Amino acid sequence: METTLRTKLIDKSVGKDSPSDSDFDFVFDPPIAHPRKPPIGQSDNLKVSGDLEEIDSMAANFNSVIRGDPMDIDSLSVSPSPSSSSLLSLSRKADKLDTPKRSLRLQHSSLQEIHPSPLSVPSEPSDHSSNPSVISSKATTPVDVDSSRDGGAKKAEPYRPRVSRRTYSNSRPKVSIPPGMAPHEYATDCILAVDWTMLNAYALHQEEYALLRHHISYAQVSTYLNIRNGILRLWANNPLVPVTREEAIGCAKDPRWFDVASLSYDWLVRKGQINFGCVKHRKSKHLTTNKSQGRKQKTIVVIGAGLAGLGCARQLDGLIRHYSQRLLEIGEEAPRVVVLEGRSRVGGRVYSRAVNTEQSPLPDFGSERLTVEMGGMILTGFERGNPLNTIVRGQLKLPYHELKPDLDLYDMNGKVVDKKRDNLLEGLYNDCLDRISQYKFKLPPPKLIEGNRDLMDEGRDSTAEGQKTIAYVEETTASLPHAPPVSEQNVAPQVELVPISTDCITGKPNVEPGVPATQKSAAKAKAMGWNLKQGVSEDHDLDLETPSQVPGATLGSVMDDCITQYKQILELNPLDFRLLNWHIANLEYSNANNYRNLSLQGWDIDTGNEWEGKHTMIVGGYQNVPRGLMSSPSPLDVKTKSPVTRISYTPGSSEGSAQVECEDGTNFDADYIVNTIPLGVLKQGSVKFEPELPSWKTEAIQRLGFGVLNKVILIYDAMFWDPNKDFFGVVRNPPHARSVNQKDYTAQRGRFFQWLNVSSTSGVPVLLAFMAGDAASDVEHTSNDDLVREATEVLKSRFGQRVPYPRQAFVSRWASDRFARGSYSSAGPDMKVDDYDKMAKPVGNLFFAGEHTTGTHPATVHGAYLSGLRAASEVLDALIGPIVVPTPLIRPRETPQSLKRKAEQHLRDPKRARLEAWEMEYWDFLRSKIGEYPYKPAKVAGHAYLLYSKAHYEAARQKCLEGRRAGKGKPAPNEVRVMTSKMWKDASPEEKKPFEEQAVKQKEEHAERLRNWNEKVKDWESKAQELRKEFEKINPIEKVNDNDDDGQPSGGRRRRGRFVESYAEGSDDEDVAIY
C-alpha cells in the first residue's frame, strides 16, 4: 500500500562494495529475519485527526531532504551547514500551556474514514505475521539488586544527591490533558499509545524500577504510570515535533508530581522512547555561545554508517541539543559527532541497488527510484513497538507495499504441493522444534511492578500514598526467615513458549505460551492426522535426551535425530523429506547459517519479542531510511570512504582519550567511540584495538555465530508470473532424488528455495531468490553465469520452457565483502546466555552497537537501530552523568497549617461556596424527581465460538490429558484454549448451529436493550433540563467570576500562575529558540 506522500531518490553514482566489478556482484544484507505495535497511533480501531495539512507540509520538507539527486553518494562527506536550518521550521502552534499542544488525538474509529495519511495505515495480522502474543513482549532486563537476607530488617536509605533547584513558575497541572475528554477516554488513549511502544502500560520497565524503587511506594506506581503514559500519548499523536518538558509536566494532575513527570520525561528522552528519529529539536542559544566562551569541545566518533551508526549519531545530535543547558553547566561546548564509513555509501547492510535507468518503470509506479534490495528489505510488522514505524510512516512518510500472506509450494515437477500434505509436514516440523525447545536456556523472569489496572483504566490516580518505598518493603521482606531475596520478589510468572506455526517470510516460528512436549510423540502424530506404522502404539515416545547430551550437540544434530526417529514410526516418503527440508531451509535463512551451527540452548533466544502486523517493503528502496536519518532534519557529519584500521581507547575510564586511525593514515582524536563494526569483521580481526579488548569481550565475539545469506536477483522485460502473488516456494531434490536420508538434503535444500516478486517496490519486473544454509556459502565461489543458468532452470520447472533469460541480474556475496564478512549474527554452538549482553557492554570510553549487541532483536535492521539508541544513551550518561533523582521525589501532602490557610481563603470566598452548595442541592433535587442516570447495559459475548468454548471447556481439558507425558503436570489454561479452538474448527455445521443461533439471539437482545437505554437517556436528559429551569426559578443561581480574588471582582486583572518549586536535574530547555 502506498502512502499519500512519496519520495524520490536518484542514485547517480552508487559504488560497488563487493570484490568484483561485475554487474552481478553486489553485497547483500539479509532481509529482516525476525517478525513482532509501533509508537504511532494507527490501528484498525484508531483514527488520527488534527492539523494534517501542517504535518503533510512538514513531511514534504523531509521528502526533499532524503531525495537523492542533490547528493553524490560516491564522494559523500556531509557536514552540518547553516542552510540546513531552513529545512524545517515547524513548531507547536499552541504556545499557551492551558491548551494541549498536540493537535492529533487517538480515537476509536477507522483511520481511513478521516484521512489517508501514512500515519494512519492500518496493519492487520496475516498468515505471515506473528500471532498477537498472549504474554507481554516488552523489554525485560533483570535488575541487579541486593538479595541479602542476613541481619535484621534494613531500612532503605535512599541516596540524597546535591542537585540544582528546578522551578516550575510557568507550569500548571493537567494542561496536557484535553479538558473536554472524559477521564476513562483519556486513559484509553494513553494505554493505546503505550501499546505502540515496547513498554507495558500497566507496569514499570526494569530501568524505571531501578530508578524509582527507593523513591516511591507501591501505591504511587499507578500515578507514575498515568503520567508516563500521558507523555507517550503526546509523542504518539505527533512524532514530527519533540515533546517538551513543559508538556510532559502538564500530564501531572497535581503540582506535587511535577518532579516525577520531569524525571519520567528525562528517562523517556534518554532511552529513545520519545523524541527520536528524524525529529526537529529545539536549539538552545548555549550551542552557539559556548564556543565563543572558549569552552572545551569533545568529539564523539561513530564507526559505521549503517542503521546502528546513523541511528546513534542522529540520537546523539538530538540529545546534545536537548541537554545544551546541562553542557553549559558542566563547562563544556556541545560535542562534535563524526561518523566514519568505509563504503562510498551509507546504509551498511541495507543497500538498495539502482537499476539501469534505461529500464522502463511499471505502470502506476510513479516517480520513485528504481531499485533492487541487495540487503535488508523486509519490515516485519509495524506494531507493538517497532521504532522504524515512527520513522517510516510518521516522519519520513515513505511509501510501502504490504506483502500478501499467501504462499504456494511447488515440487520440482512444477506442480503445487498438496496443501493438506504440506500442513501435515509443517505440523511435524513444529512438533520437532517443540520437543527440542525443552532444552532452551531458562531465562530468569523479570521484575513486574504493576499499577492498579482498574484505577488506570478509569483515568484516576491513586489516592493512597503509602508510607514505605518499594525498596524498603522488598529488603524488609528479604530479611525475614525463609523469605525470597529481593531479586526473586515481584517477578513476572515464568511462561514457556512453544512453536505452533512458521512465518514463511522470515523463517521464524510463531509461538504461544505452553509446556514443551506435553504429549508422547506417537499420540501427538496421530492427533495431527498421521498414520502410525504397524506395531507402533500411541505410548511410543522419542528419545531426545541421548542426542542432546552428546558433546557438541546443536540444534541441527538433535533435529536430524528427531526426524530419523519419526521415520521409524511414520511412513515418510521422499516428498515428505523435501517438504520438511524446505521448512529447515527457511529456518536456516532466518539464522543465516546451517542449523548444525546453531546453539541447542539459544538458537531462538529472541523469541517473544517479535513485532506484530503485516510484513512490508519500502517502495523505492529500504536505503531511503538510512538516507533520511543522515539528512533529516539537518545533515550529519558523515565521512565516507574512510575504512578504520585501528581503534585506540582508554579501558579503565570513560573520561580518557581515544583515537581512530583510517586506512589512508588519517587520525581522528576522540573522547568517546561508538563501534558498530559488524560481528563478522570483529571475528576476522582486521581492525586492531589498542589495548586489546578484554577476554570476556573477545570470547563472546568468538562464541556468537555470524553466517551468510545471499540473493540472486533477476530483472526481466515483462512478467511471466502472477503479478498478484508476492511469494512462492520450490522444494528441492537431493543428489539422489528418492532418498529418505536426512543428511542427503543438506547441500541442496536452500538453493533457490524461496522466490519473491518484488516488482511492486522495485518498479521493474523482478524476481528475487534466496540462497540459504550451505547454498549461501556456495554462492561465494560460484560464477554468476552458473547461478543465473541454474535459477533459470528452476523457473522453467515452475513456469515451463517459455521462461526467458533475464536482461539484467545481480548476485550478493556478503561473506566476500570486507566491510561485512557475512550477513547477520546467530547463536553459535557454544554461545552463553549472556553473550549478547557482553557484546553490548562498553569498555572504558569505547561503546558498542549493532544487531549483534541486542539479544532481544538480533539479526534485524530494527535491532541495529535500537542498539544505536542504547549506545547514544550510554554516551550521554558518560558525558553529563546519569539521571539524578531528586529527594524527596514527591513533595509531601499539605500540612495542617496550609490547609488552615486554604480554609480561611475559602471562607473569604462566600460566592464560590454558595455555588458549590447550590450544585449539590440541585443534584439531590434531580435524583428525588427522576432518579439516577440510566445505567448502560453490560456487553454480551455475542460470538458463537466463545459460547462453544465455555460449554466445552471440560471436554477440551480431558482431550489435553490424553497421551500426556508423565511429569508434565495439568494442562495449562492456554493449552485448553488451543484445544477448544481446534475442536471448534473440526465441529460440523450442525454442532455449531445452536451456538451461532444463541449468539445471534444475544446480539439482538443486547441491541434492543441499547435502544431502550438510549431512549431512557434522552428522556432523562430532557427532564433534567426542565427540572434545572424549575429549580433555578425556586433557587436563583448566583454567578461567580472565575477570575475573582478573595471574592472580589478581578477588575480585568489576569490571574497569576502558581509558582511551584522543587529539586530536579539541571534545566535543559530554558532560553531556547526554534531554528
Residue 960 lies in a domain: yes
For the purposes of burial, counting CB atoms within 10 Å of the CB of 40, is it exposed (0-12), middle (13-18) or buried (19 or more)?
A: buried
Domain boundary among the residues 548, 568, 597 is at 597
Looking at the predicted structure, is the pLDDT value of residue 689 above 70? yes
Average confidence (pLDDT) over 381-410: 92
Tell me the per-residue pLDDT of 19-68, one tens digit each, with 9 for 90 and over. 333 333 333 333 333 333 333 333 333 333 334 344 344 444 444 434 34
Residue 870 lies in a domain: no
Check if the beta carbon of residue 880 is closer than 8 Å to that of residue 323: yes
Q: Report pLDDT for 345.
A: 97
DSSP at 395: I
Query: How many domains does the structure of the chain reveal?
Result: 2
C-alpha 869, offset from chain centre: 12
Looking at the predicted structure, is the pLDDT value of residue 746 above 80? yes
- Rounded CA gap, 650 and 986, in Å? 65
DSSP H or E stretch at residue 982: helix 973-986
Check if the beta carbon of residue 905 is closer than 8 Å to that of residue 307: no
Q: Report pLDDT for 1074.
A: 29
171 three-class SS = coil
Q: Report pLDDT for 152.
A: 40
Tell me the per-residue pLDDT of 766-808, one tens digit each, with 9 for 90 and over. 999 999 999 999 999 999 999 999 999 999 999 999 999 999 9
Residue 854 lies in a domain: no
Tell me the per-residue pLDDT of 833-845, one tens digit each, with 9 for 90 and over. 999 999 999 999 9
> What pairing do the DSSP bridges indicate for beta strands 751-757 and 688-690?
unpaired
Looking at the predicted structure, is the pLDDT value of residue 96 above 80? no
Q: Which residues pair with 675 in a beta bridge?
A: 303, 848
Backbone angles phi, psi at 203, to 5 degrees: -145, 155
Residue 975 lies in a domain: yes
Average confidence (pLDDT) over 885-912: 71
| DSSP string covering 682-705 | HHHT-SEEESPPPHHHHHHHHHSE
Residue 522 lies in a domain: yes
Closest CA to 851 of 146, 32, 108: 32
Average confidence (pLDDT) over 816-841: 96
Tell me the per-residue pLDDT of 131-149, one tens digit each, with 9 for 90 and over. 433 333 333 333 343 333 3
Residue 533 lies in a domain: yes
Give the least confident one: 57-66, 258-267, 443-452, 846-855: 57-66
Report percent pLDDT > 90 for the chain: 53
The string over 149-160, giving b where at least 16 C-beta atoms fall within 10 Å of a residue's C-beta and e elsewhere, is beeeeeebebee
Give every CB contact of residue 42 below 8 A, 6+ residues apart in sequence.
48, 111, 119, 120, 121, 122, 123, 393
Looking at the predicted structure, is the pLDDT value of residue 661 above 80? yes
117 three-class SS = coil
The string over 267-301, giving b where at least 16 C-beta atoms fall within 10 Å of a residue's C-beta and e elsewhere, is bbbbbbbbbbbbbbbbbbebbeebeeeebeebbbb
Residue 69, number of CB atoms within 10 A of its CB:
11
- Rounded CA gap, 248 and 228, in Å? 8
For 39-150, where are the alpha helices, taking DSSP H only?
A: 52-66
Residue 353 lies in a domain: no
Residue 636 lies in a domain: no
Q: Round to the nearest angstrom and report the end-to-end CA distance of the chain.
A: 35
Closest CA to 8 of 342, 281, 361: 361
Domain boundary among the residues 541, 566, 597 is at 597
Check if the beta carbon of residue 436 is closer than 8 Å to that of residue 559: yes
- Rounded CA gap, 918 and 520, in Å? 74
Higher pLDDT residue, 366 or 764? 764
Closest CA to 814 of 682, 619, 678: 678
Looking at the predicted structure, is the pLDDT value of residue 500 above 70? yes
- Rounded CA gap, 363 and 561, in Å? 51
Looking at the predicted structure, is the pLDDT value of residue 639 above 70? yes
Check if the beta carbon of residue 548 is closer than 8 Å to that of residue 600: yes
- Rounded CA gap, 710 and 785, in Å? 16
Position 730 confidence tier, pLDDT thresholds 50, 70, 90: very high
Closest CA to 351 of 725, 710, 64, 806: 710
Position 83 confidence tier, pLDDT thresholds 50, 70, 90: very low
Looking at the predicted structure, is the pLDDT value of residue 356 above 50? yes
Looking at the predicted structure, is the pLDDT value of residue 6 above 60? no
Q: Which domain holds residue 939?
A: 910-1043
